[in-house]
Amino acid sequence: MRVKVDGHCETAKVLRGYLLKSDFVSLVSNWPDVTVWVEEDSKLHDVIVDGVDGDLERSVINGIADSSKFHIRLQRVGGVQSDKEIRVIVPESNPGIEIGLANGVLKYIHKPKRKLF
């Protein structure tokens, strides 16, 4: 699956590294299947997840919640409008957030396909 990780912060760089270690992900800049925007804001105390209610958002939230101590806030109004995109704003570069974010994206990519019949 083609994934685009957009962001110049340390968390985005680490996420790219984790995803490159996976044999199932191809990092691209054009025509991605999934886009992840990552930003850092040192004024925050919580992780902010901006996405559409769906499998990608659910996987990322569960991954971050399982591996970090930070509270998670959802942003809904005027943000991301596609279920194939997600924006995550983190307070600082943190191994728990980075691993959780990578696990969430990989879990979304490997979700079981629904049978039609």
Task: Identify the CATH number of the domain in which residue 96 sits.
Answer: 3.40.630.40
15: nearest Cα among 87, 111, 110: 87
pLDDT of res. 114: 57
pLDDT of res. 23: 77
* Cα three-residue angle 72-40-5, rounded to 5 degrees: 90
Q: List, for the chain, all residue ranges whose pLDDT scores fall below the cut of 50.
A: 116
* Sign of the Cα pseudo-torsion (13, 95, 62, 77, in order): negative
pLDDT of res. 78: 82
**Residue bearing tokens 């995550």:** 88
**What are residue 4's DSSP bridge partners?**
35
Is residue 66 in a domain?
yes
The total number of structural domains that make up the chain: 1
Is residue 13 in a domain?
yes
Q: 74: which 2 tokens?
A: 């959802």
Q: Write out the residue range of the structural domain in which residue 89 sits.
A: 2-109
Is residue 115 in a domain?
no
Is residue 114 in a domain?
no
Is residue 79 in a domain?
yes
pLDDT of res. 113: 57
